[in-house]
A and B are shown apart, each in its own frame.
Chain A
Amino acid sequence: MKLQPRAVEEVLQGLKKAGVDFVSLLPDSDFSELQERVGNDLDFTCVPVSNEAIGVGACAGAWLSGKKPALLVPTSGLLVATWPLTSLCMAWGLPLLLLIPYRGDIGDAFWLMGPYKDTTEPLLRVLHIPFVTVAKTEEISKAIIDAQGSTISWQRPVAVLLTGETIK
């Protein structure tokens, strides 16, 4: 499953309109097009990391420096990121936009992704991370702009889950 080309455009537009200027991510082949576009776009400081926990830490440093960070993190990586999402973002009250391609949602036929239907939404709730689930491409940009506004105001992470036709 890949983030579809139209969805990639919508994500990029959404991020720019929302004012996001710092993106951290772990290189992931399913989302390589978005990662490449972000990496080549001078409007973003793109920071690849070896583990999404490091990505959350880097985004925390970026926000404290005045940047507007986002973490592109798959459903597997969300589980890796739980420690800093708790000990930094939750404990301190830090904004962070989480963009989560929803691998493992119904429709994903890859057996390896099975656990993520059970973990993703419950985990976001446990971590007190409000989220919006977007299944239609034309809704992506607005969802990102809204989520970014809320994360800054509420000083806590907010997630956008991308599913349905966006990652067919």
Chain B
Amino acid sequence: MEVGKARAVVEGLREAGVNFAVGLPDSQFHEVYELIAEDPSFKYVGVGNEAEGAAVAMGAWFGGKKPVLLIATSGLLVATFSLARLHLKEVPLLVVIPYRGDLGDPRWMGIYKKLTEPMLNAMDIPYEVVKQPGEIKKTIGGCQACTERWLKPVAVLITGEALW
């Protein structure tokens, strides 16, 4: 991801008040992970399994933090059980996902187009798709506000020119 776009993601998170980031590195978001790890306004926790990541984020929220879960479209599928349990507790969680497998992705990832949005719908996780770099910060801010109001996970899917 171009550094300018990665910076927009990180600034969007910071301006939305997010201060705790959990993730398992994804190739397309490499720069985002690096910027967050260097930024003193975030506590970054790397995990080995995205389901643990969702649970860590929930723990952080109970601890008074504003968490974000940064995971891949594949990671969303690993995290399903944990995210379903978050619903039970009515815990807000912003989930930011580089939309690998969307139309235009040059790699063999076709299953994610079939699955990602239907999966979020099945999990009752509202989401917004961002295609233009200029909309990254605004969308992140809006979704973070919704997650706090609605007390449930809300996702931002970054694709198109905002991602590539």
Footprint of B on A, CB under 8 Å?
A: 53, 76-77, 79-80, 82-83, 86-87, 90-91, 112, 114-115, 118-119, 122-123, 125-128
Contact = CB atoms under 8 A, between A and B. Distances in A.
Interface string B119-135: 10111100000000000
Given A114-B88, A123-B122, A126-B115, A80 B77 contact: no
Contact of B87 (A76, A115, A122, A128): A115
B122 A79 contact: no
A119 B78 contact: no
Interface of A is mostly: helix
A146 B86 CA distance: 36
Contacts of B121: 122, 126
Nearest to B112: A86
Q: Identify which of B74, B84, B119 gathers the most chain A CB atoms within 10 Å of its CB.
A: B84
- List 9 tightest A-B contacts by C-beta distance, closest first: A122-B122, A79-B81, A126-B118, A83-B77, A83-B78, A79-B80, A80-B81, A82-B80, A82-B77
Nearest to B119: A126
Contacts of A77: 81
A119 B122 contact: yes
A98 B62 CA distance: 36
A80 B49 CA distance: 11
Given A83-B77, A83-B78, A126-B121, 18 more contacts: A76-B81, A80-B51, A80-B80, A80-B81, A82-B77, A82-B78, A82-B81, A82-B119, A86-B115, A87-B74, A87-B111, A115-B87, A119-B122, A122-B121, A122-B122, A125-B122, A126-B122, A127-B115
Contacts of B124: 118
Contacts of B118: 125-126
12 contacts: A76-B81, A79-B80, A79-B81, A79-B84, A80-B80, A83-B78, A87-B74, A87-B77, A90-B115, A91-B111, A115-B85, A125-B118
Contacts of A53: 78
B122 A83 contact: no
A82 B76 CA distance: 9
Contacts of A115: 84-85, 87-88
A83 to B, nearest CB: 4
Contacts of B123: 119, 123
A90 B87 contact: no
